[in-house]
Amino acid sequence: MSDRKVPRPHPSVLIDTPIWRSYLLKEERTFQEVNALMDAGRVCGLGLIVGELLNAAESEEEIKVLQNFTRVFPMLPESPEAWVQAARLALQLRQRGKEISLREGYLAHMAQAHGVLLYTPNKALRRAQKTLAGKLKFYPDRRKSE
């Protein structure tokens, strides 16, 4: 038997609303990173994020483009209990001195529950990662540079 490891496929990446906004504004670094993820078929979506993007749309054309997200990217299934779990996660973190909003708790819960990486600039979630015992993973992993 060989000691070679079987390469694991790269996990999907859930891209948070602020990253999508930067991408849509064609901010160079974000534009390149998100395009690379899309080319690799690694992007997944979440109804909350699509809803936030649609809410910020400024034209019917933008709405049409954003509506396509639900067809272009696999959407994470959202169970009826997801918001309850998000609230429990936010409470658990608050009890440990880490404040996050319900929205942040929802993103963290959904990323953890589906084993995807979360691409977000949200510093509160990154700080909470240690409290979550490494169950929440980020893209890109910037721990080395922090």
CA distance 103 to 86: 8
Q: In this structure, are residues 110 and 87 in contact, taking their beta carbons and an 8 Å threshold?
A: no
pLDDT on residue 139:
93
Mutual orientation of helices 47-55 and 102-114 as an angle, nearest 10°?
A: 140
| pLDDT at residue 129 tops 90 | no
In a 3-state reduction of DSSP, which class is residue 88?
helix
pLDDT tens, residue by residue, 106-124: 999 999 999 999 999 999 9
CA distance 16 to 30: 12
Domains in the chain, CATH or no CATH each: 13-131 (3.40.50.1010)
Q: How confident is the model at residue 4 (pLDDT cuts 50, 70, 90)?
A: low
Mean pLDDT over each residue of the chain, to the nearest integer: 90
pLDDT on residue 146:
37
pLDDT on residue 113:
94
**Torsion angle of C-alpha atoms 110, 79, 67, 59, degrees rounded to 10:** -80
The answer to whether the predicted template modeling score (pTM) of the entire model surpasses 0.85 is yes
